[in-house]
Amino acid sequence: MMANQFEKARFNMVEQQIRPWEVINPRVLTLMETLPREAFVPDTYQDLAYADIEIPIGQGQSMMFPRIEGRLMQALDVQPGDKVLEVGTGSGYLTACLAGLANKVVSIDIHREFSDAAASKLEQQGVNNVMLLTGDALAGPVQGAPFNAIAITGSLPTSQQAEIFRQQLAPGGRMFVIIGQAPVMICQLITRHDEKIFQEESIFETEVSPLENAPAPVEFNF
């Protein structure tokens, strides 16, 4: 696909996938209209960079649907002075998007190959306000906490597993998390108002792969 074809595909993605999904935040729309998603997609899927699909990236992982990425960014309402935690670097595309909205992004992935590949892609795009970490975000607080916004790109079986991330939110901070098990998972926006008060808002239903190492929920047999 030629450069101008990618531009047309990017425009069509925003008009046919992102806007119809009620994404109206102008900063998010401008970002998705300009950031080259094809630069973050595996070579074999270049022509599908802007398709309404989850693109496989290896290790059993996939890029989110573009429309979900758009809704995630709109829900988090990232401000130019914010420090953001991304759990699951993956391809690095959402990392680059968040970096375009925030002051600083800390992105952690359990797979070093994702972190290494994202580092070179981000450098190629001139994105220099990201700190990439390799490790298990569920193992303890991430370097740089607390954060103004947290984006968790894999699902968690129950809201209990999200507690470790809730505690890393600064007062006024927002977290996007997907809770539940297939086939019904709920995207939630969790806002921390102060030390003890959290507000939970269900945004929409979807289905994404679980965060690696997320403990399976206990099943009760009666």
Instruction: Output the six-digit token pair for 189.
Output: 């926006």
In-domain check, residue 196: yes
In-domain check, residue 45: no
Question: Distance between CA 212 and CA 161 in Å, rounded?
Answer: 12
**What pLDDT, in 10s, does the model give residues 101-122?**
999 999 999 999 999 999 999 9
In-domain check, residue 116: yes
Max Cα separation, the chain? 60
| Long-range own/partner contacts, residues 24-27 (CB < 8 A, 24 or more apart) | 24/74, 25/73, 25/74, 25/77, 27/101
| Nearest residue to 162 via CA among 198, 127, 132 | 198
Domain housing 176: 56-206
Cis bond upstream, residue 42 (ω within 30): no
Question: Distance between CA 84 and CA 166 in Å, rounded?
Answer: 13
Q: Mean of the pLDDT values across residues 9-18?
A: 97
Supply the mean pLDDT for the chain: 94
117 alpha carbon, distance to own chain's centre: 17
In-domain check, residue 212: no
Kindly report the CATH number assigned to the domain that includes residue 198.
Answer: 3.40.50.150
In-domain check, residue 92: yes
**What pLDDT, in 10s, does the model give residues 139-176?**
999 999 999 999 999 999 998 889 999 999 999 999 99
Query: 97: pLDDT confidence band, cut at 50, 70 and 90?
Result: very high
User: What SS3 state is found at 129?
Assistant: coil
In-domain check, residue 49: no
In-domain check, residue 136: yes
Q: What is the pLDDT of residue 212?
A: 86
Residue type, 102: A
Query: 218: pLDDT confidence band, cut at 50, 70 and 90?
Result: low
DSSP-assigned letter for residue 17 = I
In-domain check, residue 182: yes
Question: Distance between CA 33 and CA 163 in Å, rounded?
Answer: 34
Domain count, the chain: 1
